[in-house]
Amino acid sequence: MRDFTLKSYKSLIVALQEAGYAFQTFEDFIVSPIQGKTVVLRHDVDELAWNALKMAQLEHNRGVRSTYFFRIVKQSNVPEVIRQIVELGHEVGYHYEDLSLTEGDEIKAIALFEKHLAYFREFYPVRSVCMHGSSTSKYDNRQLWKSHQLADYALVGEPYLSVDFNQVFYLTDTGYAWDGGKYAVRDIVETGFELRFHSTQEIVSCIQKGEFPEKALFLAHTLWTDSFFQWNWLHFRELLRNNLKLLAKNNKGVARIYRKLVESYWKS
């Protein structure tokens, strides 16, 4: 059976609901966390914004609220999609990459950050932001918070800075697998949990056995699709990308070619 489809996403949500998990948006989880079994569904909309809308509708139909982080690039920043996701009752946050956009210039970056934040606040009263990994950039977007405070921008949280991942189990679908962390460059967290999963079905089984942690934060990108053609194309692309990323770690020539490919993709 194909994994990372809307069908498998729904099976995950249903399993969590049947096991008694409550769902909170990221901002609520930070500001007023509820006791007991709780899950946060965080979506980084790196691209394919219309897929995000499909996930948002599915969640809404199950009575679930989640959090969507949008980038400023046009593959993510689709006003119609953002508007509809807000209407469905979800949280919208800013998936910032201003330091890599300004090539490490912190003064320009914070000004750009403010401008972009103000833009997303036209859609939703944004209170949380989340860095984009910018895997091919040498700048870590979180550096911005070495010299600035989230609170000064009326923000309550940043997943990489505001959550103790020894208490909250973190799962990410990077590289079309729940154990694809080796392909991630920056969206990695320190964790005290020993659990490892590959497929969504493995997570569902663990939840059904009552062995899943009490608190969890899922990062799901927008590659989940029921479309046979899109699913195959994206799997092929991710396979290629993951292997390039691994090669690029040890080979400067490959790293340069990979960086060029990524740059031209986002500029297209």
Q: Name the site residues for Zn ion (rule: CB under 5 A).
A: 44, 46, 132
Q: Which residues contact 203 (CB under 8 A, 6 or more apart)?
A: 12, 15, 171, 178, 197, 212
Measured from the CB atom, the residue of 153 and 266 that comes closer to Zn ion is 266
Rounded least distance, CB 100 to Zn ion, Å: 11
What minimum distance in Å lies between the beta carbon of 159 and Zn ion? 11
Q: Which is nearer to Zn ion, 9 or 94 (CB)?
A: 94
Give whichever of 13 and 72 is closer to Zn ion, judged by the CB atom. 72
* Dihedral class, residue 243 (left if φ above 0, else alpha if ψ from -120 to 50, else beta): alpha
Consecutive H or E run containing 229: helix 228-250
| Residue closer to Zn ion, measured from CB, 3 or 46 | 46
Are 105 and 70 spatial neighbours (Cβ–Cβ below 8 Å)?
no
d(CA 65, CA 88): 8
Q: Which two tokens stand for residue 218?
A: 């899922």
To Zn ion, the closest distance from the beta carbon of 44 in angstroms equals: 4
Q: Measured at CB, which residue is nearest to Zn ion?
A: 132
Minimum CB separation of residue 238 from Zn ion in Å reads 14
CA atoms within 13 A on the CB side of 207: 23
Closest Cα partner for 140 from 149, 131, 152, 128?
Answer: 131
d(CA 77, CA 205): 35
Nearest residue (CB) to Zn ion, 28 versus 44: 44
In angstroms, give the least distance from the CB of 77 to Zn ion: 13
